């Protein structure tokens, strides 16, 4: 097996930043541009959920809660207080981190199935609150007129620029997630996932690590929400129904539990698949059910399993002492 440094990450970044928009510019279709952006956001959401469901092993349906919190925070602030894009993102991250830490602390003690149900309850309560707290969220009408993404006075115009902003955000998010998953920290989380009691007897701070991962997942998802609000310039309660959480979860499962490359693939598949089968229309839910079912049946470890992903990134893991001392194969 060749020991060449396959610059996976570099290649990926190049593709995202240069090739895709070049292709899109050539195709000249704003629709495709928007689709590409949706794919990128899906990648972040799937990756963030994968931290919780895959690496930490806590099945959850609360993506929409933090996505929505981030989005509404950005919308409400920017429209009512005129704050800048970056400020809104920062506030979204802080807000979702705090809420995430509180929820995480409260929920993490629950055993798996109860935890999952509790996150479902959170998602449903969130949607209901958004729908009914008209004074704050403008209820079913949704929030329109959100100012576009802007950096230091320059407003993003056109879908190509918007795409670049999203791509940079995604790369940052992926970098953070990569550092968490492909490290000894990720290893600790996986050990806790495999056998919590045993991990505890090895001295691992199981509760703390789980709460930290929950908070991180909330923060990344919240940031994505803020970005979405500004990119789309309109958000509504319909964007944050529990079904959307289920979609993201499907992406995690199809791509591969605990695998970051898998989450990326899962996110892409989840967005592109229904696009490719547009005639399906209202049968979207059925389609996802079938995909999920087939996936679990035939590819339980996903399209890109965690084992493969960890092997791929092994040289990145903080163990160059390990790499140096490893006996030759």
Partner 1 sequence: MSERLLQVRGLAKHFQGLRAVDDVSFDVARGELVGLIGPNGAGKTTLFNCVAGAIARTSGDVEFQGRSIAGLDPGRIARLGIARTYQNLRIFPDITVFDNVSAGAIGRLGISLFGTLIPGVGRKRDEAIADAALAALERFDLLSFADQPAGNLAYGQKKHLEIARALALQPTLLLLDEPAAGLNDTETGELASRLRALRDAGLTILLVEHDMPMVMRICDRIIVLDSGRKIAEGAPAAIRADTAVRAAYLGDEP
Residues in the site for partner 1, rule: CB under 8 A? 176, 179-180, 183-188, 190-191, 194-195, 197-206, 209, 212, 216, 306-307, 310-311, 314, 318-322, 325-327
Cβ 179 to partner 1, closest distance in Å?
5
Give the integer Cα–Cα distance in Å for 224 and 227: 5
With beta carbons less than 8 A apart as the criterion, state whether 195 and 85 touch. no
C-beta closer to partner 1: residue 161 or 196: 196
With beta carbons less than 8 A apart as the criterion, state whether 49 and 63 touch. yes
Give me the helix-helix angle, 260-276 and 242-255, nearest 10°.
120
C-beta closer to partner 1: residue 51 or 149: 51
Rounded-to-10 torsion of CA 93, 98, 102, 103: -20
C-beta closer to partner 1: residue 125 or 320: 320
Cβ 307 to partner 1, closest distance in Å?
6
Phi, psi of 144 (to 5 degrees): -110, 170
Cβ 166 to partner 1, closest distance in Å?
22
Q: How far is CA 60 from the centre of its chain?
A: 13
Give the integer Cα–Cα distance in Å for 137 and 155: 24
C-beta closer to partner 1: residue 109 or 326: 326
C-beta closer to partner 1: residue 140 or 318: 318
Cβ 66 to partner 1, closest distance in Å?
17
Cβ 114 to partner 1, closest distance in Å?
21
Neighbours of 290 (CB within 10 A): 11
């Amino acid at each position: 097996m060749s020991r060449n440094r396959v610059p996976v990450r570099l290649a990926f970044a190049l593709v995202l930043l240069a090739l895709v928009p070049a292709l899109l510019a050539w195709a000249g279709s704003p629709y495709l541009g928007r689709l590409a952006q949706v794919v990128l956001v899906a990648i972040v959401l799937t990756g963030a959920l994968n931290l919780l469901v895959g690496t930490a092993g806590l099945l959850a349906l609360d993506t929409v809660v933090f996505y929505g919190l981030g989005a509404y925070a950005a919308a409400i602030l920017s429209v009512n207080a005129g704050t800048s894009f970056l400020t809104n993102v920062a506030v979204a991250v802080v807000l979702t981190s705090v809420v995430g830490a509180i929820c995480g602390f409260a929920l993490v003690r629950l055993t798996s199935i109860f935890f999952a149900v509790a996150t479902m309850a959170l998602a449903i309560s969130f949607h209901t609150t958004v729908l009914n707290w008209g004074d704050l969220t403008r209820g079913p009408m949704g929030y329109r007129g959100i100012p576009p993404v802007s950096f230091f006075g320059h407003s993003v115009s056109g879908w190509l620029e918007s795409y670049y902003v999203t791509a940079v955000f995604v790369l940052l998010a992926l970098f953070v997630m990569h550092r968490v998953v492909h490290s000894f920290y990720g290893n600790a989380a996986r050990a806790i996932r495999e056998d919590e009691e045993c991990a505890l007897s090895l001295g691992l701070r199981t509760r703390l690590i789980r709460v930290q991962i929950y908070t991180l997942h909330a923060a990344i998802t919240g940031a994505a929400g803020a970005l979405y609000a500004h990119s789309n310039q309109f958000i509504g309660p319909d964007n944050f129904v529990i079904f959307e959480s289920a979609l993201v979860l499907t992406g995690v499962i199809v791509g591969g539990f605990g695998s970051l490359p898998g989450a990326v693939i899962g996110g892409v598949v989840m967005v592109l698949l229904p696009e490719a089968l547009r005639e399906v229309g209202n049968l979207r839910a059925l389609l996802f059910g079938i995909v999920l079912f087939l996936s679990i049946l035939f590819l339980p470890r996903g399209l890109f399993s965690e084992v493969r992903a960890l092997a791929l990134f092994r040289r990145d893991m903080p163990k160059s002492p390990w790499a140096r001392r490893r006996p030759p194969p």
